[in-house]
Structure 1
Amino acid sequence: MSEIEFGVWAPVHGPRAAAHDPQEPYDASWVHNRDAIVEADALGYDATLVAQHTVNPHFSDRDQIEAWTASAALAGLTRRIEIITAIKPALYHPVVLAKMALQIEEISGGRFAINLINAWNRAEFEKAGIPFLDHDDRYAYGREWLSIVERLTRGETVSHRGEHFTIEDYKLSPAGRFRARPRIYLGGESEPARALAAEHSDVWFINGQPLASVEALIADLRARPRAGAPLRFGLSAFVIARETEAEAQAEHRRLIALAEKDKPAKAVQKANTDPKVVMFQTMARQQAFVGTNGGTAAGLVGSYDQIAERISAFHRAGVGLFMLQFQPLRAEQRRFAEEIFPRLGKTPAAAPSQRLSEAR
């Protein structure tokens, strides 16, 4: 069984649980993203996920980090953490994106990864005059797009004639200096997403949900035909860890109450969301939770020992990477490193204060 790895979501559009939390004022600035991820790197987290949005999907008048330029900067400021950057294929030609990916791979010294996602925010496309294809058509487009990017990032000379792209004798360099290519992550739980993940990704991201549901999803993907190395699995989860379960549940209730203030923003998000996106269908069936991409529905709310035990159970089921959300982010990612890492045989790394000083 693979070693347990932990990642943290970058705060690209502010807090993940509630936008009106006095303990974490709304902040999606570059400085906040930089400091949070440099600190995560110093603490020993293994990965960060930088979600891609051109405009803030919740509050149209608030800040939104641009994922790819920010990731390039993070690559130069960090030492060991894997930088996983999301991409909506319709926004970038595969040749351009592959070149960007290879450049960040070069800057990071072989620590970069692509997270291909099927866009859900209709307004982000339509307001820019970009066609927003039907759900399954978006995956067909993404499959062709990824087949080109994957070959280009290997340094192959690519000629391609397909439904969406025509490419003649194209080769990018440098490539393959650190490994065969950047790692490929894929999310989504629809049938087209599962098929694409089984065939063409290295790691499949699962949205936060109970253990039994995660076990069933992993079993389904493992049963599918696949060439090459076995598929690995990641799980998104919002963590609330405290000395006692009662304290953790009280904090959960606090965040749920604060999230009520975000209902107008959530209504806008729902109106802009493609109803065929399975993630939102799954989340609608969950009981009260906070966080995005399933959040606390994964059940990582409890005492330090309970959290460690639940993570171990997910790991036994096949989850190798836990992509975590916290609020307030920096205080809670430190708490997790100090309290949960040792319970799972992982030692927090060097003092983050020194690394933050170097980054500035």
Structure 2
Amino acid sequence: MVAVVQPRFGVWAVVYGSWGPFDHPDDPVDATWERNRALIVEADRLGFDSTLIAQHVVNPFGDELDQLETWTSAAALAALTERIEIIAAIKPYLVHPVVLAKQAQQIQQISGGRFGLNLVNAWFKPELERAGIPFAEHDERYGYGSEWLSVVRGLFSGERTSFQGKHFQVEGYRLRPTGTPPTVYVGGESEPARALVAAQADVWFVNGQPRENVARLLADVAARPRTGDPVRYGLSAFVVARETDAEAEAELARLWELAEAGKARWEALVADADPKAVMFQTFAKYPHIGTNGGTAAGLVGSYDTVARRIREWADLGIETFMLQFQPFEAEMRRFAGQVIPRVRELVPSRG
């Protein structure tokens, strides 16, 4: 039986400027540092537990659009916030593991132990190819990422690290100062992704999709051999919460109308994605607003409905909910004020 814990709630930093339709009249595209700083500082004050800063060098919806840089922003946010966990995504091909491990340790110190890194397999081909970085085949990228993470985790230990692999050769490397290692989050749902999760992840981020899909994925990973503590689970979701179910469904319908105007941008993004990326195969089956499964997670409805569905996800084993909204700031406040208290009543604190 799954032990139900109090859910943790996170927010996606608006690194693209928007997580929903680009033409929303109340949420103009704005990926500036100023907006993200204000948003995450407020999320910290409102009691959100985490923020995820996705990583791209250029905006996959169009390189004429702004794109927030992940790791410099993570360091700054670590210094500006008090309690919220800062999770920075990383694509292994972009930064050598020795350099990245040092950066992660430093942000962990700046934050006072509130830092995590989210290893993700690159899917946006132009980002690498236009920089002259080869875009390897899907499974080969996971092989690279597995070696990369092995080096990083070794360095996090504070011990001298040596590693001899296909992609990396490290001899007696040691980083100081050290401390509590950052939490390692891993994304991806393919077979090699699940193998990597079972072997090295602290937390697995799953994309929003029907519960029966997620139940199968969690059972698969839980059944794999593992050393150390069990894997913990997170879920991505786009929330539309209102006083009544009918009001929420009406708002979702409005978002779909707005999304139609930006359909060409989404189709262009998909055209530049790796067709072997499982998440895009899943997305094609379950239309949604938002990225990473968004509204396919089912968090659309009245405040009570959304709280109840979160409880159902928690019963399944989901601990961390990484959330998107639109317009982001206003809906984030609504969620904090109306939904989180209801969830706390449904899922009592342990002890």
Deviations 1:218-270 (A, max 9, x none): 11111111110011000000000000011101110111111111122112211
What is the distance in 2 between the residues matched to 1:165 and 1:220? 29
Counterpart for residue 189 of structure 1? 189
Tell me the equivalent position of 2:22.
19
Q: Distance in 2 between matches of 1:329 and 1:99?
A: 32
- Matching of residue 276 in structure 1 with residue 279 in structure 2: no
Cα distance between partner residues in 2 of 1:247 and 1:59: 33
Q: Identify the residue that residue 149 of structure 2 maps to in structure 1.
A: 146
Counterpart for residue 209 of structure 1: 209
Equivalent-residue separation in structure 1 for 2:163 and 2:317 (angstroms): 36
User: Which SS does the other structure have where 1:276 is aligned?
Assistant: coil
Q: Distance in 2 between matches of 1:156 and 1:137?
A: 28
Matches within 5 A, 1:316-331: 316-331=315-330
Q: Tell me which residue corresponds to 2:250.
A: 250
Letter in 1 for 2:79: G
Aligned to 2:312: 313
CA distance in 2, matches of 1:45, 1:185: 18
What SS does the aligned partner of 1:48 have?
strand
Q: Deviations over 1:286-314 (max 9, x none)?
A: 1x320000000011000000000000000
Q: Which structure 2 residues correspond to residues 161-200 of structure 1 after superposition, within 5 A?
A: 161-176=164-179, 179=180, 181-200=181-200
Q: In structure 2, what residue type is equivalent to 1:328?
A: P
1:2: Cα distance to partner? 2.3
> Identity percentage over the alignment?
58
Which stretch shows the higher mean deviation, 91-100 or 217-226?
Answer: 217-226
Q: In 1, are the aligned partners of 2:6 and 2:344 still within 8 Å (CA)?
A: no
Quote the Cα distance in structure 1 between the aligned partners of 2:220 and 2:147.
23
The 5-angstrom pairing of residues 76-95 of structure 1 reads 76-95=79-98
2: CA distance between counterparts of 1:228 and 1:86? 23
- Displacement of 1:215 after TM fit? 1.3
In the alignment, which residue of structure 1 is the partner of 2:349?
none
Q: How many residues align?
A: 342
Q: Deviations over 1:155-196 (max 9, x none)?
A: 1211222111111211111111xx2x1100001000000010
Distance 1:73 1:90 in 2: 23
2:155–2:161 Cα contact (<8 Å) kept? yes
Equivalent-residue separation in structure 1 for 2:27 and 2:74 (angstroms): 23
Paired residues of 2:11 and 2:322 also in contact (CA < 8 A): yes
Are 2:32 and 1:29 aligned? yes
Q: Deviations over 1:66-99 (max 9, x none)?
A: 0000000000000111111100000000000001
Moved over 6 A (4+): none
1:45 aligned to which of 32, 36, 48: 48
Q: Which residue of 2 aligns with 1:264?
A: 264
The CA distance in 1 between the partners of 2:153 and 2:98, in whole Å, is: 10
Secondary structure, aligned partner of 2:170: strand
> Hey, what's the Cα distance between the residues in 2 that align with 1:308 and 1:50?
25
Could you say which residue in structure 1 is the equivalent of 2:117?
A: 114
Distance in 1, matches of 2:104 and 2:36, equals 20
What letter matches 2:329 in structure 1? Answer: R
Partners of 1:239 and 1:30 in 2: CA distance: 24
What TM-score, normalized by structure 2, do the two folds share? 0.96
In structure 2, distance between residues paired with 1:175 and 1:310: 40
Q: Provide the rounded CA distance (Å) in 1 between the counterparts of 2:159 and 2:25.
A: 51
Distance 2:302 2:109 in 1: 41
The aligned residue for residue 352 of structure 1 is none
Distance 1:136 1:7 in 2: 30
Match of 1:301 in 2: 300
Which blocks of at least 5 consecutive residues in structure 2 are unaligned?
346-351
The offset of 1:217, in angstroms, is 1.2
Match of 1:42, SS state, is helix
Report the residue type matching 2:135 in the other structure: F
Question: 1:354 maps to what in 2?
Answer: none
Q: Which runs of 5+ in 1 are unaligned?
A: 347-360
SS at match of 2:121: coil
